Chain A
């Protein structure tokens, strides 16, 4: 398979790994668009999701409104915004944020909503007020689902940030768009592989972050440890 050889040659060519068109710079640009978009999306979506989850108000409206973002094609948003605001990162950010907000809103809403009634009542029975219940009980218990939403969004954003190249920006999408128009298949496939690897790495890294931020009690690790300790003692 000559294509595979060409892709390999392309990926391992030292010239590909330096300079403003090089893979390191393109990867950093790609991460920059993705991180910025995911961070802004989380800043918008988390308060909304947590609020409607905690109060139970406006869920239908909020979830459906944010889902609109997923319904509109990202490429469409990018081109529309490009013709409105012109060259720059804004069109891409708008499209990526629109894509990233819905999973975070939905997951944080469902995470908070699905906290066991008994747990919530126990907290209230102990004299906790609304805000304390939210911060000390609901949020920690909902954290695995909230993080799952952020992970879903981040992986989607990394894959979609490829479109930035369509409107003249950088990122790994450059290899796809340029390779396609220059009939350089190795560049297209090489670029696609890099995007795929970056998406998978994003998933892995965020998995680690999740392990850190989820309370051991919720994650079940504390219980496991306790059981193990008992077993060891018995033995």
Chain B
């Protein structure tokens, strides 16, 4: 969006055309990516735009480098809606992902919720796109809903189903795609029978906007990630998921089949086994709350674990 600022309608149009080309053109970039893989030399690690993704991508890059693979990074690329097509096209070769989110991205009607169900459903969909999921990690980063301590006390909120009958008095905030994603607001309605909220404010996914809006009372219910350091730091109440709506969200490296050599697989599977939800929450806090550099946090952790 920064390009739009630079001025003038022409820039806005140009920026959007660039997006258009990036999203639907299979042009030169894809070809370049392809030739790189054929050489078998460089694996390009991508990531979306929040701290956990940056940490994981840096971990992947570090262990691959250690294993003697040539690595390039293209991080902070935006939401899955932008990053995943880049993976399909070959602009990037590898991405830290969440099995449930990818499934619902590739098949918006998917209803699987457990890890096994999700993985089974996911494998053929990825295969059809020339992609493959490596070993999943036990760590899960689910999407969740958080309220401040005051809101929780005032409305008696502990579980998601507690929102029923109260949502019409509450303002909800989260990323714009919540409005249409199956596990977003439509899911609250269909699975929990929760009525429409008073208002939906399109902000970000557990980022600075949602954090400050929740703390200032501009929104009452905010979309967060369950591994997010901000929940503990702000003393929020994470609403317990009491009906299966959110699919399993195990962290899993997803890559292009042609780039996932045995060398790459071994290196990544070794770290996936060691990442747990608790460890990841701690690392997220180091970056989000204590403002440490994601690359340093990733490398320090790998060193501690004896992986680097």
Judging by beta carbons under 8 Å apart, are B175 and A181 in contact?
yes
The listed residue with most A CB atoms (<10 A of its CB), out of B5, B24, B180, B209, is: B5
Closest CB in chain A relative to B151 CB, distance in Å? 16
| Cβ of A15 under 8 Å from chain B | no
Closest CB in chain B relative to A16 CB, distance in Å? 16
| Cβ of A192 under 8 Å from chain B | yes
| Cβ of B26 under 8 Å from chain A | no
| Cβ of B125 under 8 Å from chain A | no
Judging by beta carbons under 8 Å apart, are A160 and B5 in contact?
yes
Q: How far is the CA of A86 from the CA of B15 in the complex (A)?
A: 28
Residues of A57-92 contacting chain B, CB below 8 A = 73-75, 79, 82-83, 86-88
On chain A, the residues within 8 Å of B189 by CB distance are none
Q: How far is the CA of A99 from the CA of B180 in the complex (A)?
A: 34
Judging by beta carbons under 8 Å apart, are A193 and B173 in contact?
no
On chain A, the residues within 8 Å of B213 by CB distance are 82, 86-87, 168
Interface footprint category on B: 35 or more
Residues 135-174 of A, flagged 1 when their CB comes within 8 A of B and 0 if not, give 0000000000000000000011011101101111000001
Main DSSP-derived SS at the A contact region? helix
Complex partner residue of A86 from B24, B175, B176, B218, CB under 8 angstroms = B218
Q: How far is the CA of A158 from the CA of B5 in the complex (A)?
A: 10
Judging by beta carbons under 8 Å apart, are B212 and A156 in contact?
no
Complex partner residue of A156 from B8, B15, B180, B203, CB under 8 angstroms = B8
Judging by beta carbons under 8 Å apart, are A79 and B7 in contact?
no
Judging by beta carbons under 8 Å apart, are A192 and B16 in contact?
yes
Main DSSP-derived SS at the B contact region? helix
Judging by beta carbons under 8 Å apart, are A168 and B173 in contact?
yes
Closest CB in chain A relative to B234 CB, distance in Å? 13
The listed residue with most A CB atoms (<10 A of its CB), out of B20, B176, B179, B208, is: B176
| Cβ of B154 under 8 Å from chain A | no
Q: How far is the CA of A73 from the CA of B1 in the complex (A)?
A: 11
The listed residue with most B CB atoms (<10 A of its CB), out of A86, A168, A182, is: A168
| Cβ of A200 under 8 Å from chain B | yes
Judging by beta carbons under 8 Å apart, are B24 and A185 in contact?
yes
On chain A, the residues within 8 Å of B176 by CB distance are 177-178, 180-182
Residue in chain B with minimal CB distance to A70 = B7
On chain B, the residues within 8 Å of A79 by CB distance are 208-209
Q: How far is the CA of A160 from the CA of B5 in the complex (A)?
A: 5
Judging by beta carbons under 8 Å apart, are A185 and B8 in contact?
no
| Cβ of B201 under 8 Å from chain A | yes
Judging by beta carbons under 8 Å apart, are B180 and A193 in contact?
no
| Cβ of A188 under 8 Å from chain B | yes
On chain B, the residues within 8 Å of A160 by CB distance are 4-5, 7
Residue in chain A with minimal CB distance to B178 = A181
Residue in chain A with minimal CB distance to B173 = A168
Judging by beta carbons under 8 Å apart, are B8 and A199 in contact?
yes
Judging by beta carbons under 8 Å apart, are A167 and B203 in contact?
yes
| Cβ of A196 under 8 Å from chain B | yes
Residues of B21-66 contacting chain A, CB below 8 A = 23-24
Judging by beta carbons under 8 Å apart, are A73 and B202 in contact?
no
Q: Contacts A177-B202, A183-B81 hold; do A188 and B16 have CB atoms under 8 A apart?
A: yes
- 11 further contact pairs, Cβ within 8 A, besides A75-B1, A156-B8, A159-B9: A75-B2, A83-B212, A86-B216, A87-B218, A155-B9, A158-B9, A163-B5, A168-B201, A181-B81, A182-B179, A198-B9
Using a CB–CB cutoff of 8 Å, the interface residues on chain B facing chain A are 1-2, 4-5, 7-13, 15-16, 19-20, 23-24, 78-79, 81-82, 173, 175-177, 179-180, 201-203, 208-209, 212-213, 216, 218-219
